[in-house]
Amino acid sequence: METDEKPTITPLENGPLLVAKLTGLEGEDGVIKTDPKTALCRCGMSKNKPFCDGAHTDAGFSSERGENENDERLVFEGDPVTFYENIAICSHAGFCPRGTPGDWRPKDGEQEFTDQELIEKVRKCPSGALSYARGGSEHRDQERPPKIRVKQGGPLEIEGGIELRNTEWGEGASREHYALCRCGASKMKPFCDGSHDEVWADGE
């Protein structure tokens, strides 16, 4: 659900994500109602997820980004389609084939998916880690309304170009869609790097 004004997300230092001008989140069971300004947990400790309950203070949560040597944009050239990936901001959503895009086209020519099928998988990527180019033109973003999806046991999945303020972006990352950490363990804060797989292995 949205208002006429463009929503924004502001990561607060050592605190929650402040969402403004968006009056609902998409949850597993439907719409989660919110106020025009809502604080969402990103330390992973709130007892009222996805909302912040102040647990970050007692938990000593740090919003500082760690060192991640994988924060680079990799290019996997092909004809007619080239794929790009920054694995440091991959949220492990499971839409793409196994391995990196370099493994998607076996050298023996026995390809499990057609290029068009691979493109459709890239377009489903919620993290902005993947994009593709065809005919010399890169396709990274889509035209969609603003939305925040709360992924059970995973990140906040953002789409529709919601402005993310005061943030250092991963190399080559999309501004139209991206995934934000909720477990508190990502090295790419505020972005998700898949750390929830271990932190919430037994449920959040």
Residue 165 and residue 19 in contact, taking contact as beta carbons nearer than 8 Å = no
Here the tokens at position 135 are: 């005919």
The answer to whether 140 and 83 have CB atoms below 8 angstroms apart is: no
pLDDT of residue 102: 84
pLDDT band at 109 (very low <50, low <70, confident <90, very high): low
Q: Show Cβ contacts of residue 95 under 8 Å, excluding neighbours closer than 6 positions.
A: 121, 124, 125, 126
The whole-number average pLDDT for the span 45-57 is: 97
User: Does 32 have pLDDT greater than 50?
Assistant: yes
The answer to pTM > 0.85 is: yes
Q: Taking a C-beta distance cutoff of 8 angstroms, is the pair 169, 158 a contact?
A: no
pLDDT digit string, tens, across residues 111-167: 788 889 999 999 999 999 999 999 888 998 999 999 999 999 999 999 999 999 999
Q: Across all residues in the chain, what is the average pLDDT? A: 92
Could you tell me if 33 and 83 are in contact, meaning their C-beta atoms sit under 8 angstroms apart? no
Give one DSSP letter per residue of 135-196, joined into a string. Answer: TTEEE-------EEEE-TTS-EEEES--EE-S-PPPTT--SSSEEE-SSS--TTTTB--STH
**Percent of the chain beyond pLDDT 90?**
77
- Of the CA atoms within 13 Å of residue 48, those in its CB half-sphere come to 11
- Pair 57, 43: CB distance under 8 Å: no
Instruction: Say what the pLDDT of residue 17 is.
Output: 98
Taking Cα atoms as reference points, which of 72, 95, 92 lies closest to residue 84?
Answer: 72
Cis peptide before 155 (omega within 30 of 0): no
